[in-house]
A and B are shown apart, each in its own frame.
Chain A
Amino acid sequence: MSETLAGAGAGAGAGLGGPVLSVRDLAMRYGEREALRGVSFDAGAGELVAVVGPNGAGKTTLLSILAGIQRPSAGSVSRAPREIGWVPQSPAVYAKLSVAENLELFARLEKVADPARAVERMLEQTGLGERAGEQVGRLSGGNRQRVNVAIGLLADPPVLALDEPSSALDPAQRARLWDFVGSLAAAGTSVVFSTHDVNEVQRYAKRALVLAEGELLFDGSPEALLAAAGEEKGDFEGAFVSFLHGRGHR
């Protein structure tokens, strides 16, 4: 096992007020295959943490464990699944229900104290107020994803886990989504997201976790990742690829 490279900004969650989320020695085995190997990291309040890596790196497994969908073979997560809002890659919403009905249903299932208020708040926050009565099946992909994110935020969780949230969106929808996620982080929500798009990491993340074959290879700021790859000019995608090559991953 190689050593995790800690770049500048690593362990930022340990800063002011301490980490909101602490993950320690997380491991996941599927029979002989190790999907995660001793992954540890912290996330602080308002921090945007990107989990990036090639296919099969263990990104979705990591987020599934944070969301409580899978139980790890070993290790711990400081927060209970109910304290972590989860936004799956494909919108997990009922197409035949309206935006408001979807939000209300999940608010009730989340046992939110005031479901009506929570729905109102999320409609306002996501800018979907005018579409509240529209069936989700008739919305655009971008708006459907906003409903998907809104459901993850209904219980006002301190941590939000997003699994490749922008993968099915066009550039304009993607920009709107990141504006919204940025505003959440600015309001103090700790956001952990997985992505294939390394440019999103450079543009939006405060920290990057680089996973490959279940192993955490890097934990630090995007700038530190550039430096670690010897790319000072700012070609983040090239830096990321050469970083992986340098550690024997293709």
Chain B
Amino acid sequence: MRWLLEKDLLILRRSRLTVALLVIYPVAIALLIGLALSRGPTKPRVAIVNETPPGQTIAVGSEHVAVGRYAEELFSQVQSVHASSRAQAIAAIKSGRVLAAVVIPRNIAARVSSGLSQASLEVLYNGNALEQSLVQSQLSSALAQANLGFSEQIQGAAAQAIGLLLKGGNLGVLGAPPDLIGLSQIPSGLKGIIARQPPGPDRRQLERMDAFAQFAAQNLGLAKNVLSTIGQPIQIKSTLISGRRTPLNTFAVVVAVSISLMFVAVLLASGGLALEREENTLQRLVRGLASREGLLAEKALLGAGCSFLLAFAMLAGIGAFVSLDWSRAGLWLASLALGALAFGTLGVAIGVLAREVRAASLLAFLTSLPLAFLALVPAGAVASGLYDAIGVISFVFPFKAALQALDAAVNQSAPGIGVSLAHLAGLVVLFGLLARVGLRRLD
């Protein structure tokens, strides 16, 4: 095995273009996927046409909320681009400068203040089905957030108005009487007056007023709490069932490294074995110069060894930019080593199917890339039956297990590293056997 391994490394050293492609291509793909995963969805670029007159307010009892505050809420949810008119907004959409436009109509204040009809916004957009879907999902979320923020402001104004009714004071509204008595102050004032009244119809009338004032003050006090409940009826409390909460950027590192590990190991192992067939040397070797098992092990080790070194260098390099726990480096090595070996045996299982290096590389690439994507599909993102099928496919190929092992090693995520390493060891045996059976078929 030693001489064959030395020979393969020598051939690899002389195939500079292949080596460059083997290193650059998976690393580039891995980094792109990693970057895409680590960056959350960006705010959509939206043109906003505010047709409301400057300084326009919505009256809430004695309080007023500026309509401009709604526009501010909306601005905070999107990358806003000011448009002075509807026509300008449409031009911006057509030119592709913005994804969509939101028109805040002139009559929005009147509609909200009336309490009779709901105020509405106009959303303008264009594009193909994908862009339309993007607008629907991104803008509906942004508008919902803006609505929530604006309703909180209205709710705050309403709460202030209720507080004034309860405590009394100056309303600050032109023409309103100064130093108004508060609803909560009425019962204590009435008590003295009632005590001085002789029994009779006037006293009974005053006692009824006192009872109403007490009841009204108590219930108006509760109304403030009711308002906050209506504003956000259900709060969300998140609980992670197992493992540790993983930051998106370190998970992206794990994904990027796992993809590189997979590509290099699978491509090298499959290509190495296919090369023996392409050069007609396989028959010469298996006539007693090397055992079939030894030959498969050598190719799997070639792929595993090279990918292990590359992946560890990548992990260490990225570690300079992303905070990683180096005290767990031993576990990184274990997960990378077993992951690389599993990918290497998958590679030789692919390699026995191909007569040429190019065919083996294509087959390895076409097999590996979808597997990586399938393993990243989150539960609930697709129909349950399809997710189950994806789960089975991901279980019998090494990518998901390697990803979970490395994620557990780097981020302490669930399931534990032991389970994933045992899974990978099982896959090494499975693909080793498949490769051996495939090689016998060639005899």
Contact = CB atoms under 8 A, between A and B. Distances in A.
Contact of A90 (B10, B11, B280): B280
A109 B285 contact: yes
Given A90-B280, A97-B10, A68 B443 contact: no
B288 A105 contact: no
B321 interface: no
Contacts of B7: 94, 97, 101, 105
B134 interface: no
B288 A92 contact: no
Interface string A97-109: 1000100011011
Given A91-B280, A105-B7, A151-B284, A96 B15 contact: yes
B125 to A, nearest CB: 57
A142 B284 CA distance: 20
Interface residues of A, number: 24
Nearest to A108: B3
Contacts of B288: 68, 81-82
A92 B283 contact: yes
Contacts of B289: 106, 109-110
B287 interface: yes
A93 interface: yes
Contacts of B11: 94, 96-97
A90 B277 CA distance: 11
Contacts of B290: 109
Contact of A70 (B10, B15, B280, B443): B443
A95 interface: yes
Contacts of A135: 14
Main secondary structure of the interface of B (DSSP, over half): helix
A88 B279 contact: no
A93 B10 contact: no
A105 B5 CA distance: 11
Instruction: Give the interface size class of chain B.
Output: 10 to 19
Given A94-B11, A105-B3, A69 B286 contact: yes
A70 B284 CA distance: 12
Given A94-B7, A97-B7, A69 B280 contact: no
Contacts of B283: 67, 69, 88, 92
Contact of B279 (A68, A95, A101): A95
Nearest to B8: A94
A86 interface: yes
A239 to B, nearest CB: 34
Contacts of B323: none
Interface string B280-305: 11011111111000000000000000
Nearest to A67: B287
Interface in B193-252: none
A93 to B, nearest CB: 7
B287 A69 contact: yes
Q: In this complex, which of A90, A91, A93, A109 has the most chain B Cβ atoms within 10 angstroms of its Cβ?
A: A109
Contacts of A91: 280
A109 B443 CA distance: 20
Interface in B43-98: none
Interface string A52-86: 00000000000000011110000000000110001
Contact of B281 (A92, A101, A110): A92
Contact of B287 (A68, A90, A95, A101): A68
Contacts of B287: 67-69, 81, 86
Contacts of B284: 86, 88, 92, 106, 151
A96 B3 CA distance: 15
Nearest to B284: A92
B300 to A, nearest CB: 19
Nearest to B290: A109
Interface string B1-41: 00110010011001100000000000000000000000000
Contacts of B15: 96
Nearest to A71: B443
Contacts of B10: 96-97, 101
A88 to B, nearest CB: 6
B285 A94 contact: no
Interface string A4-22: 0000000000000000000
B281 A93 contact: yes
B281 A94 contact: yes
Of the candidates B10, B285, B288, B443, the one having the most CB atoms from chain A within 10 angstroms of its own CB is B288
B3 A92 contact: no
Interface of A: 67-70, 81-82, 86, 88, 90-97, 101, 105-106, 108-110, 135, 151
19 contacts: A68-B287, A69-B287, A69-B443, A81-B287, A82-B288, A88-B280, A88-B284, A91-B280, A92-B281, A93-B279, A93-B281, A94-B11, A94-B279, A96-B10, A96-B11, A97-B10, A105-B3, A109-B285, A109-B289
